[in-house]
Amino acid sequence: MPEPLVIDGDTRVLVLTGAGVSAESGIPTFRGAGGLWEQYRLEELATPEAFARDPGLVWRFYSYRREKAALAEPNPSHHALVALERRLGDRFLLATQNVDDLHRRAGSQRMVELHGNLFRTRCSACRREPFEDRRSYGPDSLPRCHCGALLRPHIVWFGEMLDPSHLERVDDFMREAASHRFVFLAAGTSGAVWPAAGFVEQARALGAGTWLVNADPAENTARFHHFVQGKSGEVLPKLLG
Ligand code: BV8
Ligand code: ZN
C-alpha cells in the first residue's frame, strides 16, 4: 500500500475523474464497445464536423451510450468520492470528464461535468436551455427543436470550448486551496484530453500534493508526486477511507 494520503481539518481536495472510474460499472470504453463502433475513433465522432456531416450516425452513437449508461450502476469508485465529499463539504470539488451521469446517480453534488452529460439534449442553434432527455435517436428519427434546427447531445465535442463557468469554478477552488493543505487527485484518466489534462500542472504550481490512481501509467504520470497503479474501485475506498 502506498504512503497514506493524509486528509486533515485544513485539507482541500480537488478530484478529476475520467472514463476509468466507470470501467468497473461496465460502461464500454469507446474502443472496447465491441464491433459497432470499433471502426470509428472518438475524435472522429465527437466533433461538430461529424454532426454536421452525419447527424444520424452521431445520434446513433450517443443513443447507444445513453442506453448503456442507463443500464449501469455506480461502483465503489463513485461511492468513495461521495463519502469524501460528505466528509469535507465545501473543502471538496469533483471535476469529471465523464458524461455517463454515474457520479450524480451515486450522490455527488459538488461536481462540474466538464464534458457535458449523455442525458441532456440541446438545440444546435437557438438559446433554448439544455433539457433532460433519455430517448434514442437515429438517421430516420432526427430530433428537431421548435425553432426548426436539429437537436444535439449536450456534450462538449473536440474543438468545442468547455463551459467557462466550469473552468472558473475549478480555478477558484484551486486558488482558495492554495493557502491551505491542497491535494489534487486524478482517477481513471489517461491525461490525454485538454484542458483537463493540464489541471495537474495548475495544481502543482499552487503547491498541491498530486496523486494519480489509474490502471495503467497515463500520459502525464510523471507530473504526479504519487502514482497508485490499480483499479479505482479497489484503490479509492482504501486511499480515501
Ligand atoms: C477545447 C465528450 C479548443 C465526448 C470529450 C490544448 C488546449 C485545449 C485544447 C486542446 C489542446 N490540445 C489539444 C486540444 C484539442 C482537444 C484535445 O485535447 N485533443 C486530444 C485528443 C489531443 N481538446 C478539445 O478539443 C477540448 N476543447 O479546448 O477546444 C478550443 C480552444 C480555444 C477556443 C476554441 C476551442 C474539448 C475536449 C473535450 C472532448 N470531449 N468527451 C464523448 O465522451 O463522447 S473527451 C472524451 O475523452 C471523454 O470525456 C473521455 O473522458 C475522454 C477520454 O479521456 P479519459 O476520460 O481519460 O478516458 P481514457 O479512456 O482516455 O482513459 C481512461 C483511463 O482509465 C486509462 O488510462 C485506463 O488505463 C484507466 N482505467 C481503465 N480502467 C480503470 C482505469 N483506471 C482505474 N480503474 C479502472 N478500473
Ligand atoms: Zn432551437
Categorize the per-residue pLDDT at 125 as very low, low, confident or very high, splitting at 50, 70 and 90: very high
Residues listed for the chain: 241
What's the predicted TM-score (pTM) here? 0.95
Question: What's the grid cell of residue 229?
Answer: 497503479
Q: How far from the centroid of its chain's Cα atoms is residue 4's Cα?
A: 25
Task: Determine the average pLDDT of the residues in 201-230.
Answer: 95
pLDDT of residue 4: 75
pLDDT at residue 89, rounded to an integer: 98
> With 70 as the cut, is the pLDDT of residue 29 above it?
no
Contact (CB, 8 A) for 221 and 214: yes
Residue bearing the CA closest to ligand 1, atom 19: 193
- Give me the sign of the Cα torsion angle 88, 89, 95, 96: positive
Per-residue pLDDT tens for 174-188?
Answer: 999 999 999 999 999
- Which ligand minimizes its atom distance to the CA of 146? 2
Task: Tell me the average pLDDT of the chain.
Answer: 93
Residue 68 CA, ligand 2 centroid: distance in Å: 27
Tell me which residues are annotated as active site: 115
HSE of 119, CA atoms in CB hemisphere, 13 A: 12
Q: What is the pLDDT of residues 78-113, one digit of tens each?
A: 999 999 999 999 999 999 999 999 999 999 999 999
Q: How many CA atoms lie within 13 A of 237 on its CB side?
A: 8
pLDDT score of 33 more than 50: no
Identify the weakest region by mean pLDDT among 72-76, 133-137, 215-219.
Answer: 215-219
Residue located nearest, by CA, to atom 58 of ligand 1: 19
Atom of ligand 1 nearest to the CA of 31: 60
- Supply φ then ψ for residue 143, to 5 degrees: -80, 135
